[in-house]
């Protein structure tokens, strides 16, 4: 199994909180697409003999692409790589950018999963976040997706906005559930450096929610979504049975992936699986396009990943998702938990922060709230 990621670096307007790389002008689209085509081709030798099971268009706002643009990217991917006939092909979609015709065209090209960035069903919250759509457009986007034949729809929501009460968050959660999505990603609002939100916090124009209030909203989210038939399979991700994101899973289990586009990351393991290589592209569409035009790799960094780092990542990613398979850790990396780590596992179970089911160490809902601290205690 392997995955492909494509970063489409354009947005109509930057949201207040977003630190993903994107620009607000579509002017460099043609040079970007030309560079992307070169980059896709350039990794053909690396991808030879590998079957790719997931393709993810992220960004940025991939739904700003025209059907013609998306179609030519998909054709190039299919003619360059072996893409499974049942591959999961996801497109991140902004409700402010879709029409029935566009969605029907995307579906007919083989896109079979939409990830719709809704964030909130309250218009005042959407305005605060700087979103380009209102709540009725969000509802309409899901309706249009169904009408275009998408039966695998994920919605993104954000909680713990400044001053958000449990009642206000429940309103958004309930409206989201009423749309019957197969998958919900619920993220807490993070104040990332170099965003307008961070500047507002520094200027004391807004105050982030206290940690305890955020934890209470997280616990509410876990409870409500699990009561409504969603499996909590990663800190921020919930799926109806059979609807987990295969693409996300590939990131969490060290599956090889190639990322194309400005700021995209890639990871490729060595043949013996005990080390790997990770690289990322520059987060600048002009530099990216120019370097590819000049036959150069548009890299920001390229580094080796050693065994210890792989093991630590597996511990961290396992805790964040559906657990660490202790036996697999041992067989895959020929390295087991040492006595201090085993003692930590015993304490976590005793403190009801984790459960040990056979060889699987899984966090409890209380453990998920403290996931980062627990990972730090367990990593070598």
CA distances to 87, 143, 155, 168, 196 from 149, rounded to whole Å, are 17, 10, 16, 32, 37
Taking CB under 6 A as the binding criterion, the range among 12-20, 219-227, 280-288, 363-371 that sits at the site for ligand SF4 is 12-20
Residue count, binding to ligand SF4 (CB under 6 A) = 11
Q: How far apart are CA 116 and CA 155, in angstroms?
A: 5
Q: How far apart are CA 226 and CA 10, in angstroms?
A: 35
CB of 116 to ligand SF4, least distance (A): 11
Q: How far apart are CA 258 and CA 297, in angstroms?
A: 14
Verify binding: residue 59, ligand SF4, rule CB under 6 A.
yes
Q: Which CB sits closer to ligand SF4, 10 or 251? A: 10
Interface map 103-142 toward ligand SF4 (x if CB under 6 A): --------------x-------------------------
Q: Which CB sits closer to ligand SF4, 132 or 349? A: 132
Verify binding: residue 153, ligand SF4, rule CB under 6 A.
no
Strand partners, 116: 93, 155
Select the residue interacting with ligand SF4 from 5, 7, 22, 91 (CB under 6 A): 22
CB of 187 to ligand SF4, least distance (A): 10
Select the residue interacting with ligand SF4 from 1, 20, 104, 269 (CB under 6 A): 20
Please name which of 236, 142, 242 lies closest in space to residue 190, comparing C-alpha atoms.
Answer: 236
CB of 215 to ligand SF4, least distance (A): 24
Strand partners, 195: none
Verify binding: residue 14, ligand SF4, rule CB under 6 A.
yes
Verify binding: residue 60, ligand SF4, rule CB under 6 A.
yes
DSSP string across 196-225:
HHHHHHHTTSS-PPPHHHHHHHHHHHHHHH
CB–CB of 149/107 below 8 Å? yes
List residues near ligand SF4 by CB under 6 A.
11, 14-15, 18, 20, 22, 59-61, 94, 117
């Amino acid at each position: 199994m392997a995955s492909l990621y494509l970063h489409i670096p354009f947005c109509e307007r930057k949201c207040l909180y977003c630190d993903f790389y994107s620009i607000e002008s579509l002017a460099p689209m043609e040079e970007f697409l030309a560079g992307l085509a070169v980059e896709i081709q350039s990794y053909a030798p690396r991808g030879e003999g590998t079957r790719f099971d997931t393709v993810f268009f992220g960004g940025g706002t991939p739904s700003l692409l025209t059907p013609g643009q998306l179609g030519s990217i998909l054709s190039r991917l299919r003619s360059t790589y072996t893409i499974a006939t049942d591959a999961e092909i996801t497109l991140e979609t902004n409700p402010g950018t879709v029409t029935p015709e566009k969605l029907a065209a995307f579906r007919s090209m083989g896109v079979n999963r939409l990830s719709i960035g809704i964030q909130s069903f309250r218009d005042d919250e959407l305005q605060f976040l700087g979103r380009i759509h209102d709540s009725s457009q969000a509802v309409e986007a899901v309706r249009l997706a169904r009408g275009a034949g998408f039966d695998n729809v994920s919605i993104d929501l954000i909680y713990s906005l400044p001053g958000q009460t449990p009642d206000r968050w429940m309103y958004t959660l309930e409206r989201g559930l009423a749309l019957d999505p197969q998958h919900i990603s619920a993220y807490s609002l993070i104040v990332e450096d170099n965003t307008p939100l961070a500047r507002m916090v520094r200027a004391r124009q807004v105050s982030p929610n206290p940690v305890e209030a955020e934890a209470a909203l997280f616990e509410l989210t876990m409870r409500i979504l699990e009561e409504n038939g969603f499996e909590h399979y990663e800190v921020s991700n919930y799926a109806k049975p059979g609807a987990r994101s295969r693409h996300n899973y590939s990131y969490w289990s060290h599956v090889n992936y190639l990322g194309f586009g400005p700021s995209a990351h890639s990871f490729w393991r060595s043949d013996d699986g005990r080390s790997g290589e990770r690289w990322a592209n520059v987060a600048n569409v002009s530099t990216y396009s120019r370097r590819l035009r000049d036959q150069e790799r548009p890299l920001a960094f390229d580094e080796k990943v050693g065994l210890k780092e792989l093991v630590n990542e597996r511990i961290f990613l396992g805790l964040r998702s559906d657990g660490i398979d202790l036996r697999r850790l041992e067989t895959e990396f020929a390295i087991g938990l040492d006595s201090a780590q085993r003692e930590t596992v015993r304490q976590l179970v005793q403190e009801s922060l984790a459960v040990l089911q056979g060889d699987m160490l899984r966090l409890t809902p209380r453990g998920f709230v403290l996931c980062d601290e627990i990972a730090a205690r367990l990593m070598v």
